[in-house]
Structure 1
Amino acid sequence: MTSFQELGLSGSTLDALTSKGFTAPTPIQALTIPRLLSGTRDIVGQAQTGTGKTAAFGLPVIEAAEEGARRVQSLILAPTRELAIQVAEEIDSLKGGKRIRVLPVYGGQAIHMQLKALRQGVDVVVGTPGRIMDHLERGSLRIDQLTYFILDEADEMCNMGFVDDVRAILASANADRRTLMFSATMGGEVMAIAREFMGDFDVVRVKPEVSDAPLTRQVFHEIADSDRFEALCRVIDARPDFYGLVFVRTRADADLVAARLTQRGYPAEPIHGDLNQAQREKILSGFRERKATILVATDVAARGIDVPDLTHVVNFALPQDPQTFVHRTGRTGRAGKQGVAITLITPNEFRKLMYIAKSTGIDIAKEPLPRIEDVIHSKKRKVVDELNAILEAEGHGAYLAMAGELLHDRPAEEVVAALLRSAFGEELVESGYRRIEPVGPAGRGRADMTCALGRAHGMNPKRFVDFIASAANVKQWAIQHVRVQNDRTTFTVPAAEADRVMERVNSREGETLVTRDESRRKPPGRKFPQKGWKPAGKAPRTQRRKPQPGR
């Protein structure tokens, strides 16, 4: 099929697609939409975000929604809050004039706002498994009258330890809904869920593109999230020839990062979906003419940008899926020219980056950030080259008299140094740069810990983080490098929090569960709790959930 008109969509939906500039369906849309509009079978789709799968299930969801129903008609599960927000925004933008309400539901957002929206009536809910479970247990969300139940990035949800939650949510939904599952890979857990909770289903596959850009060197820098912008500046400063794209997640991020870069003197421009065509063309024209050499872009806005001689691509934020990673990094290293793709990650994102690298066959290496000395050396070389170019151009005659006056009473070196300081401030001295401390397993400032609870005690990474955060009263983001084994779990916390974590968890549970363990070995004489142990405080989610029929 070559047009949306051939898929059987309504006139109002076609108008919404036209207003967004969509003219032809992608392969996954052409395979999925007609099956959903005319058939009754469930669907398992193997596709990634970059293939247009959100519209593939979002358009049928919109078509099936009844205006004024005041009940949840479709539920979409996503592994992360960023993807939940992205999917909700995309569906909301595709609904055109249809009066339906789309609500993203995720942790980290005040729950009272979600409760209020649910009471007022919502047609489509897009949420993360943990927060959806919270609402089901509260009774604030009913999913017994669904038309569609959709699992987006099913393999990623399994990898992140959400299998039990996904099964529980599926078991709570009405049996006559249609179930759709989209996944980048068809692993055992994904297909087990499909066989258990889906009826007769069709499998549709879109062959993923393979990165064929060996001229692109792939590297990543592991940094603290608070150092992300500073690390970006360090990356740009170390490469005087930088001419590239910086990818972010949202439109607001694009505006913010571009504005901060501009404030520091970098020639940067944002590009995202809120720009009209005239604004977009003006920015792209300036970028191609190198009036701006840094384009801060969202994935959607970057579609259609074709600049063959980009030197760099920077993943300021890690993309949601492997295919988007390929699309981003494949924009450099073209036409026989060398390119560099740089990805900035926090220690919590390391596992996801490795999953992306494995899925795409990309060879990516960890490198330290450029040193301050190297950045300054690079900048000094650039200044010297620019001054030599000005001297050779011989267009500075009008300043010779003033130069003579300056040199009359002072040494030439002192005058030039003062001019450099006036022009560059602290850009060429070490004191002008903030130190970025290394992070990761070998980084400073973190303590290795061992907890005597593992899979045998009902733990997975998510439940473990929830348990430690609650018991020790620390932020979830402070608990990193979680590795759940059968009878124990290893993890790290900021060194300043280590003693507090041990004291509070062990005190609340009445036994020594958590120890500081630099060697990552089981302490001698240590007794681990037997299977079936339950914490004295709030139990992990699986122990609070009611048994499910037939399981």
Structure 2
Amino acid sequence: MTNFQELGLSDTILTALKSKGFTAPTPIQALTIPRLLSGSRDIVGRARTGTGKTAAFGLPVLEAAVEGERRVQSLILTPTRELAIQVAEEIDSLKGGKRIRVLPVYGGQAIHLQLKALRHGADVVVGTPGRIMDHLERGSLRIDHLSYFILDEADEMCNMGFVDDVRSILASANEDRRTLMFSATMDRQVMAIASEFMHDFEVLSAEPETADVPLTRQVFHEMANSDRFEALCRVIDARPDFYGLVFVRTRADADKVAERLTLRGYPAEPIHGDLNQNRREQILNGFRARKATILVATDVAARGIDVPDLTHVVNFALPQDPQTFVHRTGRTGRAGKKGVAISLIAPSEFRKLMFIARSSGINIDKEPLPRIEDVIHSKKRKVAAELNAIFEKEGHDDYLAMAGDLLNDKPAEMVVAALLRHAFGEELVKSGYREIKTVGPMGQGRVDMVCALGRAHGMHPKRFVDFITSAAKIKSWSVQHVRVQGERTTFTVPAAEADMVIDRVNSREGSPLVSRAAQKRKPGRNYGGKGAKPGAKPAGKRPFKPRRKPAQGR
């Protein structure tokens, strides 16, 4: 279906949608809305975050609501108070001229305000499990005449341990309600909840049966925590086309990081649960129009953002769980376009990131931060492109006379250099940037190592890491900066493990394969152990076959 008129919505709701600028339904809306308006079955809806799930259930809820009832007709449960506020505001903005009261009910808000609002009557209540249970026990909330009971972000409900609370809440609800459940994933736990809480239900999925080829490249940069913001600026500077989301943990962090970016001259805006709906829409409209190219967001606030052309997602702070990591990074690399997901981590967060990557089945590569020289080169290319665009346009004739005067007094190169300095300050010179110190896992120093095995011996990065971790009995994340060359491989390990790696690998293989790399490599210097020449091939090791099967699962 290509427009909302085909879904069976009333003129009142269609007018509200038009005023918000919504013209065509998303896939999950096109699947869900007609079934909810005309059918009677319970529904489990699956779609990626940011694809319009709130409107998919919110519009039918509004259509079913009867004005003047003064009783709760629909109850929507969300895992967090930020999401409860967001869902309530979104549904309220869609009701148009219909006299329906939508009330958010959540912990952290004064209870007496909620008691007063409930006494006045609410048609749609959006709340968190704990506060809903509180009102049910007080008798201030009754849900025995529901048309709809909706569980939003069901997978998050499972992860946060709310299943027993949901079970208790449903014990107070009428049996003839329709139950809807929406989730970004359909794992075993989610489907178990559906089987327990629903009657005759159908699963609607806006996702393809077969996964698309991943278009998002996953990388991480490691730096001292004190350099995290500087690293973020370096990442943005190195990519002139940067158009993306920067994820932080808290609303205060979103404000702080966005403010610091703005002071540096970056077009950034914060988005979080403290913003009212008008301000949120204003920011999102500016972002879609590219007036701002960076949104600094919390996870909850970002759930309603669906921008298909994002080039980057940056984890300024790692999320708490793998599922949130997948939700974040899945916002780029959509609609056939490639994207980059970048995680900025301190040394102490390395193991957490590796756990997230393994749990999510994501391949993530460590890369050094862009060098200052790379940033300057990227900016110079952008400046040159912009100048060429100006050359091709008319409208700079007024400056020709002034240009002639300047060129009469000074050499052309000096005039242009002075103008660039005037326009860009320290932005295009190395002295305008601060070096970011390289650090290792858990704050350990790292030692450069060399192994006399390379591509000629059948090695590639994964196989090499498997070989070293198996032979030295160390964790895979200890082996970093792997560079497989023709006759050898260079890599680094924590200083505390360097001697152990040398002893165990060489002892097991029976030859001096591994040694510390010299700080300054000179011609004729030994890298393969005592008496070995650089790149020497151990006897019987072409092609190389490890004695034991490398560790699997990496």
Structure-1-length-normalised TM-score: 0.57
Structure 1: stretches of 5+ with no match in the other structure: 405-415, 445-551
Name the aligned partner's letter for residue 245 of structure 2: V
| Partners of 2:254 and 2:3 in 1: CA distance | 31
SS in 2 for 1:49: coil
Name the aligned partner's letter for residue 7 of structure 2: L
- Is structure 2 residue 73 aligned with structure 1 residue 73? yes
Deviations 1:18-69 (A, max 9, x none): 2223333333323322222223222222333333222221111001112232
| Partners of 1:225 and 1:113 in 2: CA distance | 41
- Is structure 2 residue 331 aligned with structure 1 residue 328? yes
Any conservation in 2 of the 1:59–1:91 contact (CA below 8 Å)? yes
Structure 1 pair 95–367 and aligned structure 2 pair: CA distance change class (3 A): farther
Deviations 1:161-184 (A, max 9, x none): 111111111122222221111223
| Larger displacement relative to structure 2 (218-227 or 128-137) | 218-227
Structure 1 pair 198–277 and aligned structure 2 pair: CA distance change class (3 A): closer
Partner of 1:296: 295
Any conservation in 1 of the 2:152–2:182 contact (CA below 8 Å)? yes
| Partners of 2:435 and 2:165 in 1: CA distance | 46
After TM superposition, give the deviation of residue 253 of structure 1 in Å. 9.7
Name the aligned partner's letter for residue 266 of structure 2: Y
Partner of 2:540: none
After TM superposition, give the deviation of residue 150 of structure 1 in Å. 0.4
Name the aligned partner's letter for residue 63 of structure 1: E
Deviations 1:276-333 (A, max 9, x none): 9999998767x5xxxx783438675653x64xxx763335687996886465211599
Name the aligned partner's letter for residue 328 of structure 1: R
Any conservation in 2 of the 1:213–1:333 contact (CA below 8 Å)? no
Structure 1 pair 247–66 and aligned structure 2 pair: CA distance change class (3 A): farther
Structure 1 pair 11–314 and aligned structure 2 pair: CA distance change class (3 A): same
Name the aligned partner's letter for residue 233 of structure 1: C
Partner of 1:167: 167
Partner of 1:10: 10
Deviations 1:355-414 (A, max 9, x none): 89867x54345779x5xxx76565666789899999xx9x9997799999xxxxxxxxxx
| Partners of 2:210 and 2:218 in 1: CA distance | 15
1:67-466 aligned within 5 A: 67-208=67-208, 212=212, 214=214, 216-219=216-219, 232-233=232-233, 235-237=235-237, 239=238, 241=240, 243-246=242-245, 260-268=260-268, 287=290, 294-296=293-295, 303=307, 306=309, 312-314=312-314, 325=328, 328-330=331-333, 334=337, 339-343=339-343, 362-364=362-364, 370=369, 423-424=425-426
SS in 1 for 2:262: helix
After TM superposition, give the deviation of residue 134 of structure 1 in Å. 3.0
| Partners of 1:212 and 1:95 in 2: CA distance | 36
After TM superposition, give the deviation of residue 148 of structure 1 in Å. 0.8
Name the aligned partner's letter for residue 66 of structure 2: E
- Is structure 2 residue 55 aligned with structure 1 residue 55? yes
Q: CA RMSD in A?
A: 5.6
| Partners of 1:210 and 1:226 in 2: CA distance | 42
| Partners of 2:48 and 2:7 in 1: CA distance | 21
Structure 1 pair 314–399 and aligned structure 2 pair: CA distance change class (3 A): farther
SS in 1 for 2:182: strand
Structure 2: stretches of 5+ with no match in the other structure: 297-301, 392-401, 412-417, 445-554
Any conservation in 2 of the 1:26–1:52 contact (CA below 8 Å)? yes
Number of aligned positions between the proteins: 413
| Partners of 1:280 and 1:231 in 2: CA distance | 25
Structure-2-length-normalised TM-score: 0.57
| Partners of 1:170 and 1:190 in 2: CA distance | 16
Any conservation in 2 of the 1:209–1:323 contact (CA below 8 Å)? no
| Partners of 1:113 and 1:434 in 2: CA distance | 50
Name the aligned partner's letter for residue 294 of structure 1: T
After TM superposition, give the deviation of residue 12 of structure 1 in Å. 0.5
Deviations 1:200-225 (A, max 9, x none): 22332333487746564213579999
Name the aligned partner's letter for residue 245 of structure 1: G
Higher Rg = 2
After TM superposition, give the deviation of residue 157 of structure 1 in Å. 0.9
Any conservation in 2 of the 1:77–1:152 contact (CA below 8 Å)? yes
Any conservation in 1 of the 2:244–2:294 contact (CA below 8 Å)? yes
Any conservation in 2 of the 1:50–1:323 contact (CA below 8 Å)? no
SS in 2 for 1:25: coil
Any conservation in 2 of the 1:158–1:189 contact (CA below 8 Å)? yes
Sequence identity (%): 63
